[in-house]
Amino acid sequence: MQKLYPGMRFTASYSEGKDSLLAIYRAVQSGMVLQFLLITYNTDRQRSWFHGIPTEVLEEVAAAMGVPVHRICTTGEGYGRAFEEALRREKEQGAQACVFGDIDIQGHLEWGSQRCAAAGLEACFPLWQEDRLALTREGIRAGFRPRITVIDRTRLSEDFLGRLLAEETLEDLQAAGVDVCGENGEYHTFVADGPLFSRAVPVQFQAPLELGDYLVLPMEMQARGLD
């Protein structure tokens, strides 16, 4: 684990997934103060990059976690530049560090560190170089409820899509011969409930979409009942 900075105000590179939330949780537990959630948003698809979360769900996440979600609206071109510009704005609003949920891919460490250096913020990687399986179990045991919303069909069968990430699922992932943490892109998760949330975010899932090798489970807010 890399150094944490008790008392330091931070923004978080928020992906909506389990590793991102566990990194934020560890930072908060250490005494760091969460100020913003920073998420990259695909302007072509009107959803977040990588996990495909729509705006209305992000707004509910912000309300449940009690901090604003700031969107970095960008296409594929200029992604890094847009991220740096957003970090500079976060610093102007009081952030001193940015927390990332990366575990052990060196290129991700370098990319995040470079963006933070350019913006004048500390880069913080609370999960860095720890055991992948142990981290996944830690998040589950802490009370986070990650659900698998994206799978790579070249590496995982379709029946993993939509499953709650629990001990039984971890065993099945191991049996499938993939990294149980999904750090290599085998799957992605969305977390709608856990110790950082004041309440669960009520989402409902739609029919799966095929995007090349990936199968994606789109989501929307649950319809509210009429009085």
Name the band, by pLDDT with cuts 50, 70 and 90, for residue 72.
confident
Distance, CA of 110 to CA of 54 (rounded, Å): 29
* Apex 148 CA angle, 11 and 67, nearest 5: 25
Provide DSSP, 127-141.
TTT--HHHHHHHHHH
Residue 62 token pair: 């912000």
Q: What is the pLDDT of residue 5?
A: 82
Please write the tens of the pLDDT for every residue from 162-191. 999 999 999 999 999 999 999 888 999 999
* Apex 68 CA angle, 19 and 9, nearest 5: 70
Does position 51 have pLDDT exceeding 70, yes or no? Answer: no
Residue 197 token pair: 């949330």
Distance, CA of 77 to CA of 20 (rounded, Å): 24
Please write the tens of the pLDDT for every residue from 104-139. 889 999 999 999 999 999 999 999 999 999 999 999
- Cα dist from 32 to 8, 10, 11, 23, 27, whole Å: 5, 7, 10, 11, 5
- pTM recorded for the entire structure: 0.91
The residue among 99 and 227 whose pLDDT is bigger is 99
Please write the tens of the pLDDT for every residue from 187-217. 999 999 999 999 999 999 989 989 889 999 9
Ranges 3-12, 28-37, 48-57, 182-191: which has the least confidence: 48-57
